[in-house]
Chain A
């Protein structure tokens, strides 16, 4: 039994020394900073562009992305993700971008060029009722579903619950 007590004492001393050395080498603030970076970083992942590999962002733009009049929303029917914690091309945290979508064209007033706009719905959260828009340039009735903004585009997502819509630029329409 003595050997057990002695062993535990040795282990206790080792752990004690180790934690003291660690405390001397690193600050609590540094540790907390690293943990918070990790947590924040994980939280920011859903904000990454929903279709970075195909997007063609970077052109000159004017206007307010939180307004229905913003040029990219010329055929958007739904709620703007820019008013719901997301951006013009990223879903709000916790919402899942639908890969299936519909594509239209809008004219950018900054360069007077037509661009292909992909309207991706963000899904999996309750409907965000801020900034509801209904613009219908080149939109077709629901009997033409592939060109209708009245269709709920939460396909290929875990949840069919519609939250809001983003507007990605796929490129120039030429």
Chain B
């Protein structure tokens, strides 16, 4: 009975998981706008700028730890999906050839590591931004 119940629960939970695009529109687009261009300097653009970040572990972690991402009311799997959506939809031309999408486990590991001063951290990690 238990496996059946688990299977039913899995089916039920997967039915309510939003698509990455919907998650993006619901949790990110309010500030970064539906096309990701943001409103610099107050709201950074998400277009054609994130490719270099995914090339280092710190950069990949930053994409997860930035408050707008880490505090979004979605699961680790959904957060991984929406970050990958942002990378592939708005930054495809800047991604490295061997781009590896973020995995749920990677998100789960980085997410609890709170950024106390996100702006200061970004300036150190990514001074050219």
Interface residues of A (CB under 8 A from B): 51, 53-54, 99-105, 116, 118, 140, 144, 146-147, 155-156, 170-171, 173-174
User: How far apart are the CA atoms of A104 and B22 in the complex, in Å?
Assistant: 11
| Chain B nearest CB, measured from A72 CB (Å) | 15
CB-CB under 8 A for A100 and B34, given A116-B25, A146-B68, A174-B22 = no
Interface-forming stretch among B2-10, B35-43, B58-66, B107-115? B35-43
A102's nearest neighbour on chain B, judged by CB, is B30
The reply to whether A116 and B22 form a contact with Cβ atoms under 8 Å apart is: yes
Nearest opposing residue in chain B for A172, CB measure: B22
Interchain CB contact under 8 A, A103 and B19: no
Least CB separation from B33: chain A residue: A99
Cα A156 to Cα B39 in complex, Å, equals 7
Interface residues of B in 35-74 (CB under 8 A from A): 35, 39, 42-43, 68, 71-73
The answer on a CB contact under 8 Å between A54 and B35 is: yes
A105 proximity list for chain B (CB < 8 A): 26
What 12 additional pairs, Cβ within 8 angstroms, besides A100-B42, A170-B34? A54-B35, A99-B39, A103-B26, A103-B27, A104-B26, A105-B26, A118-B30, A140-B73, A144-B71, A146-B71, A156-B39, A173-B22
